[in-house]
Amino acid sequence: MTATLLCLLLAAPVLLVTSGPVRDPNNGTVPLVLWHGMGDSCCNPLSMGAIKKMIEGEISGIYVLSLMIGKNVVQDTENGFFLDVNEQVSMVCNHLAQDPKLKGGYNAMGFSQGAQFLRAVAQRCPSPPMKTLISVGGQHQGVYGLPRCPGESSHFCDLIRKALNSGAYTALVQKHLVQAQYWHDPLNDDLYKKYSLFLADVNQERVVNETYKKNLQLLEKFVMVKFLQDTVVDPVDTEWFGFLKTGQAKEMETLQESVLYKEDRLGLAAMDKAGKLVFLASEGDHLQFTQKWFNANLLPYLR
Ligand SMILES: *[C@@H]1O[C@H](CO)[C@@H](O)[C@H](O)[C@H]1NC(C)=O
Ligand SMILES: *[C@@H]1O[C@H](CO)[C@@H](O)[C@H](O)[C@H]1NC(C)=O
């Protein structure tokens, strides 16, 4: 009783000091960084532009940064196919570090491939701190198939399929084709582990980089959304960090069944035990959700 009183008395002056008019550059909101998916751009009024507007409408005063990779929308779209992912991540890290509005930390929301790229940002660049990462239809164990390209980008898809078939793990294709950098061939596990420039690195396939493990665990929450009728991502379980079992291309394993989790090479098992992993499912095809679903399921993580 006396101890409680003492605490209250000691706390009182502190409360008085902090309850004054504190200057908050973000109006009491947590800034949000968006990274678009393949074939999309920062500012498409029908996709990222609409989502940015929708969130700004729901959370008054929020700063939403929709990442543009390159100098304009055309470059941004092309870079989603052809610019080395490690380079993109490093560009984004620099950009975020230089934005004064993000100094106090930010939430991040990645769409499709933008989700695994933002996870790399969390693992490699802890400053400014990412608080919550929301992966919307991301491919955290990569893809083994590209059944359909989203939107208007089908002409690129034929090109990509040809390149991947000619050898996803050859140096030339790896370096110049974004999708090859998260191509995960369960029948050629050795090649994947050895030559995948991006995904095998961030998923700790070659070595366990303790920095990646430590940084990822700094997240307050890691939310993964899977689309139950997804026709773009193959296999769809990758959206929850699951994948095909190694050595065959039929049977799946969940994140919890994987070596990555069992050996806890990335800290995901620890995060799971701490209640930091959130698995959400949404009815519908790739990235197809309603504002109602978004507001009910994702908005609470952004407040
Ligand atoms: C906070 O609100 C003020 C006034 O509405 C606005 O001018 C300012 O840009 C807002 N800050 C951010 C980071 O959006
Ligand atoms: C681990 O990751 C950090 C951050 O990206 C990097 O600086 C370091 O070189 C990596 N270490 C290894 C062994 O790959």
Q: What is the pLDDT of residues 198-249, one digit of tens each?
A: 999 999 999 999 999 999 999 999 999 999 999 999 999 999 999 999 999 9
Q: Does 258 have pLDDT greater than 60?
A: yes
**Ligand 2 pocket mutation, candidates 206, 211, 218, criterion most atoms within 8 A of CB:** 211
Q: Are strands 252-253 and 243-244 parallel, antiparallel or unpaired?
A: antiparallel
Helix (H) / strand (E) containing 108? strand 106-111
pLDDT bucket at 3, cuts 50 / 70 / 90: very low
**Ligand 1 pocket mutation, candidates 22, 27, 29, 102, criterion most atoms within 8 A of CB:** 27
**Ligand 2 pocket mutation, candidates 209, 212, 216, 265, criterion most atoms within 8 A of CB:** 209
Ligand nearest to the CA of 207: 2
Q: Are strands 221-227 and 277-282 parallel, antiparallel or unpaired?
A: parallel
Q: How far is the CA of 132 from the centre of ligand 2 (A)?
A: 22
CB atoms within 10 A of CB 271: 17
Name residue 96's beta-bridge partners. Answer: none
Q: What average pLDDT does this structure show over 259-274?
A: 98
Ligand nearest to the CA of 27: 1
Is 91 within 8 Å of 125 (Cβ atoms)?
A: no
Q: How far is the CA of 27 from the centre of ligand 1 (A)?
A: 6
Greater confidence, 56 or 146? Answer: 56
Q: How far is the CA of 67 from the centre of ligand 1 (A)?
A: 20
Tell me the percentage of the chain whose pLDDT exceeds 70: 90
Q: pTM value? A: 0.90
Q: Rounded CA gap, 188 and 261, in Å? A: 21
- For 273, the token pair is 């035990």
Q: How far is the CA of 88 from the centre of ligand 1 (A)?
A: 29
Helix (H) / strand (E) containing 296? helix 291-297
- Known catalytic membership, residue 158: no
Ligand nearest to the CA of 86: 2
Looking at residue 147, what is its pLDDT? 81
- Known catalytic membership, residue 282: no
Q: How far is the CA of 209 from the centre of ligand 2 (A)?
A: 6
Tell the residue nearest (CA) to atom 13 of ligand 1. Answer: 26
CATH level 3 topology of 7-297: Rossmann fold (3.40.50)
From the centroid of its chain, how far is CA 104? 20
Looking at residue 159, what is its pLDDT? 81
78-94 pLDDT, tens digit per residue, is 999 999 999 999 999 99
Question: What is the overall mean pLDDT for the chain?
Answer: 91
- For 2, the token pair is 């006396």
Is 68 within 8 Å of 36 (Cβ atoms)?
A: no
- Known catalytic membership, residue 19: no
Tell the residue nearest (CA) to atom 11 of ligand 2. Answer: 209
Is 128 within 8 Å of 97 (Cβ atoms)?
A: yes
* CA-to-CA separations, 299 to 58, 78, 134, 218, 224, in angstroms, rounded: 8, 30, 10, 21, 14
Is 33 within 8 Å of 96 (Cβ atoms)?
A: yes
Query: Ligand 2, closest atom to CA 201?
Result: 14
Residue ranges of domains in the chain: 7-297
Phi, psi of 226 (to 5 degrees): -110, 135
Looking at residue 4, what is its pLDDT? 43
Looking at residue 19, what is its pLDDT? 46
